[in-house]
Chains A and B, each alone.
Chain A
Amino acid sequence: MDPHLHDLKQMPYLVKAMTRILVIDDDANVARAIQAILARHQCDTAIASRAHAGIHAFQASQFDLVMVDLFMPGMNGLDTITRIRSESVVPIIAMSGFRLRNSLDADQDFLGMAKLRGATTLLRKPFSPPQLVAAIDRGFGLLSSAGGAMQ
């Protein structure tokens, strides 16, 4: 069997060819893992380990999608999202290990706040490769945004 065809069958999601993705995460190992997985899905991934470096990279180059971790030293992920959204309509995936629900308002959590700041979709850590690829497809509007983000 043609290995390429096999690959397509393995991968139910459509990620367009050579997508440029910027990952902003202070844990370089996480960013490298994302990079390694996405390399198999025709994605070229750049890594920034600080919010400011990420914003500089975003302004200096062209990206099709940005992934932002919400908790980083220095400028936090929420501000990063606000900043990027203020100058671009690029799809943004907000990543976090926490929901940190407000006990006074159960609907209000960090990932929800990220959405209010303009994140396109949310991805809760730790996530699996299919969840990662599905989040990117949601970012590009290839999948419905309903469900999937929180499972």
Chain B
Amino acid sequence: MKQNENRAGHPGYPKHMGAGGQAEDIEIGRPSPERTRAANEVGSAIAHQLNGPLTALRLYVGEIRQNSGRFRESAEAEDHIQKMVEAAFQETERVCAMMRVIADSFEGPLYPETAAALGRDVISWWSRGGGTESGQANARGPAEAACFALLTPREREVLGHVSQGCSNKQGALRMQIGPRTFESHRARLMRKLGARNAADLVRLALGEVR
């Protein structure tokens, strides 16, 4: 399952959504080198920022843990541990201040209903980056499940037909609705799931069924 590797477009900013949602089929998703580089730079800048306070914090907390039993042993030990506690507190504050800056520096999605898709994207980015070694990198997380929960029964039906390879016309025929209606269901579906093209949609649908 390679669904995470082709996530180039920002799901919060669906492009080519006009004209019945046809144009996005042309776009085959590979992240552009520029986008990959930009993502790398942002990621490493954040990691670099956080690494300092986290290193200091880990040292202080480790020291506190190792010496916690000796708190009452001597005035010197007590003084040392108190200093470590205070320093750990300061470093925690430093991490939190950085987190606030980081959390505030990303633009929100254009459409409120794509917010969940954006969250899913962030989480899949994290698992792809090896943040967890659970071997579940491609399993759908809570945010992805939340995206699917947003779908109406009609949209789920459309998703089923699209994932079976139906064209708009075929799908419309099966559902006994007009092709334009089918298209608009499909466009909304893609926006909610953060899919950029039909192939993306199928990948997501297969993930759902699995």
Residues of A within 8 A of B (CB): 3, 6, 10, 27, 29-30, 32-34, 36-37, 40, 71, 97-98, 100, 125-130, 132
Contact of B51 (CB < 8 Å), options: A3, A10, A97, A129: A97
Query: Would A129 and B74 count as touching, CB distance under 8 A?
Result: no
Number of A-B residue pairs having CB atoms within 8 Å of each other in the complex: 70
On whether the beta carbons of A34 and B59 are closer than 8 Å, the reply is: yes
B44 close to chain A: CB less than 8 A: yes
Which residues between 2 and 55 of chain B lie within 8 Å of chain A, taking CB atoms? 44, 47-48, 51-55
Instruction: Check B52–A129 contact: CB distance below 8 A.
Output: no
A27 to B52, CA, bound (A): 6
CB-CB under 8 A for A125 and B91, given A32-B56, A98-B44: no
Q: Summarize A's interface: helix, strand, loop or mixed.
A: helix
Query: Besides A36-B60, A36-B83, A125-B51, 7 other CB < 8 A contacts?
Result: A3-B70, A10-B66, A27-B55, A29-B53, A30-B55, A126-B55, A128-B58
Docked Cα-Cα span, A27 to B56, in Å, equals 9
Is the CB–CB distance between A126 and B54 below 8 Å? Answer: yes
Q: Given the known inter-chain contacts A127-B59, A128-B58, A129-B63, please indicate yes or no for A33 contacting B87, CB distance below 8 A.
A: yes
The size bracket of the interface on B is 20 to 34
With the chains together, A132 CA to B70 CA distance in Å?
Answer: 21
